Structure 1
């Protein structure tokens, strides 16, 4: 004898499926998604909703075509790769870069849990001596490569007050890696969700005395959603 599910049960199953699908879609769509197209490959980066000033500023600049054919002008292996200087477009070989911007700053947005793990997108800025508010440069950013720390190194950083680490963030720095000493000093407002290998390729480029790659690493940024 065949048994059939009653209509109410079938309806409940369908509703639960649709609810789960909707929840997953919302989770996957959280934050704006942007694409770095570089001469070393592509990276997808999610901008955090928790840092709306930086998120909206970057979206505005992308829409204006600001990030077209710029250079990663400062690259330090096991640390970070930096871009966003408009003077880098068409810059001569050996030209020192890093002083450019859109002419304004963005107020700092430090948020617990948004840390300098590998792949983090953070805002560059001037030093505390001339910038005590720790406001971000309006366009310059960096992507963290960092390195993996041992538990002993993390404990030393915590004891020295260099980094305020939770159990969860400490685990990230001892597995994925990053630059924990920058937490709470520079605004983190996104992360690489695809293409970390491209970040590693760029970070490995030979550089001159000013940390500019000997061979230009060109990038443009577009909005995915």
Structure 2
């Protein structure tokens, strides 16, 4: 009887583990330049949940990466970009609401992060739909010192983040100004290819770059968790 109870307990534990939700939600962005997979940060739940909501609705499908600046970032998510005329100015479309800023000292503008675009509102609330992905560039300590004194208003960049900016790169002058809420975990080369396209004087690609955004399934998210955090 004891052995039977032990076997039953093991079976129940196995089923419980199978039913357990993944630790993170991942999304796939597909374009003619390839695809990337992004992990949405749990530390920014308002931005995470909003992006999931819009993705479930298919909101982003057919929108363009409408603003592209090499060594800086690629921006998309403007609903007005769907079926936009060639050369039309884009970047003002929205969904009628904003998201409160979710700044976190551990989340910074390293290469590959997903962050929320916004206008110049005083509380730095994010656009409800527009986002950008950082391509970035590498910075020297001298340049980082200058940014601290000028753009960051005296904020001291932690040494471990400086190490990222020196070796991998990013856009440190955006820290504590725009909410970072995810990062590319596979397919960063797609960002580089899009960032290298030819653009007009408004930084819109001369040839449209539409996207498709989908949520990875629970099974796929578990697989990604296991791949990134095997222990």
Superposition TM-score, scaled by structure 2 size: 0.82
1:211 aligns with 2:193: no
Distance in 2, matches of 1:49 and 1:222, equals: 18
Q: How far 1:151 moved relative to its partner?
A: 2.1
Whether the 8 Å CA contact 2:151–2:173 is kept in 1: the answer is no
3-state SS in 2 of match to 1:218: coil
1:143 aligns with 2:133: yes
Q: How far 1:161 moved relative to its partner?
A: 6.3
Q: Which residue matches 1:126?
A: 119
Q: Please, which runs of 5 or more residues in structure 2 have no aligned partner? A: 1-16, 218-231
Query: Could you list the per-position Cα deviations for residues 22-43 of structure 1 after superposition, in whole angstroms to 9, with x for gaps in the alignment?
Result: 8xx99xx432100001111000
3-state SS in 2 of match to 1:174: helix
Query: Could you list the per-position Cα deviations for residues 26-74 of structure 1 after superposition, in whole angstroms to 9, with x for gaps in the alignment?
Result: 9xx4321000011110000000000000000000001111011110000
Q: Which residue matches 2:52?
A: 59
1:76 aligns with 2:76: no
Q: Which residue matches 1:153?
A: 143
Distance in 2, matches of 1:84 and 1:186, equals: 16
Choose 1 or 2 for highest CA Rg: 1
Q: Which residue matches 1:200?
A: 192
Distance in 2, matches of 1:108 and 1:55, equals: 12
Distance 1:174 1:59, change over 3 A: same
Greater CA drift, 35-44 or 145-154: 145-154
Question: Which runs of structure 1 show a deviation greater than 6 angstroms over 4 or more consecutive aligned residues?
Answer: none
Q: What is the root-mean-square deviation in Å for CA atoms of aligned residues?
A: 1.9
Distance 1:110 1:205, change over 3 A: same
Q: Which residue matches 2:174?
A: 182
Q: How far 1:158 moved relative to its partner?
A: 2.8
Distance in 1, matches of 2:78 and 2:88, equals: 12
Distance 1:99 1:161, change over 3 A: closer
3-state SS in 2 of match to 1:164: coil
Q: How many residues align?
A: 199
